């Protein structure tokens, strides 16, 4: 069944190409299409297009389909183009002519829009919750290990003293920035497009304020053309927000892979979280973090792909939009999985004691030595030259480890301030 079926048989090759994998992808949207259809039926009853009896019967049948979905008994067979045609078919089979009325005053365009925006809305909130959980874990690790020093690097060269507290809380605070973007994305998708029909509204006296409230949207996309133009805009926004989280997690995963190597040897994980080699029995590979890094880089590529598919499309609907459904759903489902596995793994990290007296760290405290001379009255530039000469002449002796007292430094992590930013 196709919603646009006019009784003309379509070429099978064309049908296979145009439908693609919509049936599989639409399983992520079933609950939202049912929810939107219920709201739409109630609205049609409110404005007098459907009778109370018709509304009641439609809502009842839609709830039956919802129960089938929850039990795992809802399927979109090959006879159907997508979830929308499947649901309308089931309503028509159960209710006859009443089922055929569900599509009154809407188009598949706004039907897809409202379902996918409801999907995005729920999932952005879930992603935000998982991100907050990860932030809390990192802040807890920062607090637990704030006294443990860690060499800081620039250009991958030993630079200045850092700490595990700084490292963990740095990624926590950067993830707060990603939360801000998620909030912005949520605001964009939290606008009701239902009622825009094919993108130019309807001559029926529909009540869009009713469906906005019924579906739990905080706002409406008022202009019907703007509502249609949100197709592509929403997907670009969501995948861009996800790409930002992915960028943070990819960098974090790279740090972990680096710090686990024998040359650094700063951290480790339980053996059961690592993998081995088929010929080297000593190997404990950070495969999970390498895959996180790769998957996160793939998610960042998706955001760019979205731009390339949609950036030169004129207003109105185009079938190109079908192509961005797959990648946007892929991005949402994958970032949830990545966050789950990151949380599961990072909770089990083992932080090692690092001997900063090792010769390779002998210049870690040169900046503190310069600062000591400045505090004794020398100008910074003269102090810099003096310590620089000592380094060149191989006469430099590290200063004692200094306390860094300012906000956000290794000895004043400001963890509560980061928590406030998150909340």
Q: Return the percent helix, strand and coil in the chain, to nearest 5.
A: 60, 5, 30
Q: Which of 335, 338, 396, 326 is nearest to 368 (CA)?
A: 396
Question: How many angstroms separate the CA atoms of 61 and 225, rounded?
Answer: 32
Residue 390 has pLDDT above 80, yes or no: yes
Question: How many angstroms separate the CA atoms of 187 and 385, rounded?
Answer: 53
Helix ranges (DSSP H) in 96-107: 97-100
Question: How many angstroms separate the CA atoms of 176 and 257, rounded?
Answer: 23
Q: Note the pLDDT tens digit of each residue in 220-242.
A: 999 999 999 999 999 999 999 99
CATH 1.20.200.10 domain span(s) along the chain: 108-196+222-351
The predicted pLDDT at position 17 comes to 55
Tokens of 223: 């202009």
The predicted pLDDT at position 6 comes to 47
Residue 70 has pLDDT above 50, yes or no: yes
Asked whether the beta carbons of 12 and 5 are under 8 A apart, the reply is no
User: pTM for the full model?
Assistant: 0.92
Q: Note the pLDDT tens digit of each residue in 240-264.
A: 999 999 999 999 999 999 999 999 9
Asked whether the beta carbons of 267 and 349 are under 8 A apart, the reply is yes
Q: How far apart are the first and last CA of the chain?
A: 48
Residue by residue, DSSP assigns 324-351 as: HHHHHHHHHHHHHHHHHHHHHHHTT-EE
Residue 282 has pLDDT above 80, yes or no: no
CATH 1.10.275.10 domain span(s) along the chain: 12-100
50 DSSP assignment? S
Q: Which residues contact 302 (CB under 8 A, 6 or more apart)?
A: 239, 242, 243, 327, 328, 330, 331
Task: Assign domain 12-100 to a CATH class.
Answer: mainly alpha
Give the 3-state secondary structure of residue 283: coil
The predicted pLDDT at position 10 comes to 57
Helix ranges (DSSP H) in 217-365: 224-260, 287-310, 321-346
Task: Assign domain 108-196+222-351 to a CATH class.
Answer: mainly alpha
Question: How many angstroms separate the CA atoms of 213 and 220, rounded?
Answer: 9
Torsion-angle region of residue 143: left (phi > 0), alpha (psi -120 to 50) or beta? Answer: alpha
Q: Note the pLDDT tens digit of each residue in 11-30.
A: 556 555 555 577 889 999 99
Q: What is the dihedral sign for C-alpha 34, 36, 42, 45?
A: negative
Name 350's bridge partners.
Answer: 268
Strand pairing category for 350-351 and 267-268: antiparallel
- Report the largest interatomic distance among the alpha carbons of the chain, rounded to a whole angstrom: 94
As a whole number, the mean pLDDT across the chain is 93
Q: Note the pLDDT tens digit of each residue in 118-166.
A: 999 999 999 999 999 999 999 999 999 999 999 999 999 999 999 999 9
Q: Which residues contact 353 (CB under 8 A, 6 or more apart)?
A: 148
Question: Other CB atoms closer than 10 Å to residue 355's CB: what's the count?
Answer: 9
């Amino acid at each position: 069944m196709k919603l646009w079926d006019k009784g003309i048989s379509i070429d099978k090759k064309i049908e296979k190409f145009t439908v693609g994998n919509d049936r599989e992808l639409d399983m992520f949207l079933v609950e939202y299409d049912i929810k939107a259809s219920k709201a739409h039926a109630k609205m049609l009853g409110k404005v007098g297009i459907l009778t109370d009896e018709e509304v009641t019967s439609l809502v009842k049948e839609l709830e039956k389909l919802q129960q089938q979905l929850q039990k795992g008994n809802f399927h979109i067979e090959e006879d159907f183009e997508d979830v929308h045609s499947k649901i309308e078919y089931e309503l028509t089979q159960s209710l006859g002519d009443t089922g055929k009325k569900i599509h009154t005053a809407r188009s598949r365009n706004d039907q897809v829009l409202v379902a996918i925006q409801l999907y995005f809305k729920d999932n952005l909130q879930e992603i935000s919750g998982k991100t907050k959980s990860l932030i809390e874990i990192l802040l807890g690790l920062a607090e637990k290990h704030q006294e443990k020093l860690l060499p800081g690097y620039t250009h991958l060269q030993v630079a200045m003293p850092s700490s595990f507290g700084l490292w963990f809380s740095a990624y926590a605070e950067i993830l707060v920035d990603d939360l801000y973007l998620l909030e912005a994305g949520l605001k964009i998708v939290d606008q009701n497009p239902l009622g825009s029909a094919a993108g130019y509204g309807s001559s029926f006296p529909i009540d869009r304020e009713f469906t906005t409230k019924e579906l739990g949207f905080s706002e409406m996309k008022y202009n019907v053309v703007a509502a249609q133009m949100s197709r592509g805009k929403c997907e670009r926004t969501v995948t861009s927000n996800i790409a930002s989280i992915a960028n943070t997690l990819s960098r974090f995963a790279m740090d972990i892979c680096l710090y686990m190597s024998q040359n650094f040897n700063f951290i480790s994980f339980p053996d059961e979280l690592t993998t081995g080699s088929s010929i080297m029995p000593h190997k404990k590979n950070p495969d999970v973090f390498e895959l996180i890094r790769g998957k996160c880089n793939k998610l960042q590529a998706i955001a760019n792909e979205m731009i390339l598919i949609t950036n030169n499309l004129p207003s109105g609907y185009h079938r190109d939009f079908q192509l961005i459904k797959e990648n946007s759903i892929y991005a949402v489902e994958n970032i949830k999985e990545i966050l789950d596995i990151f949380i599961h793994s990072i909770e089990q990290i083992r932080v090692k004691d690092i001997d900063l007296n090792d010769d390779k760290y002998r210049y870690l405290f040169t900046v503190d030595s310069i600062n000591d001379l400045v505090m004794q009255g020398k100008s910074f530039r003269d102090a810099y030259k003096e310590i620089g000469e000592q380094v060149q002449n191989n006469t430099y002796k590290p200063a004692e480890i200094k306390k860094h007292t300012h906000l956000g430094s290794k000895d004043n992590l400001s963890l509560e301030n980061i928590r406030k930013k998150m909340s």
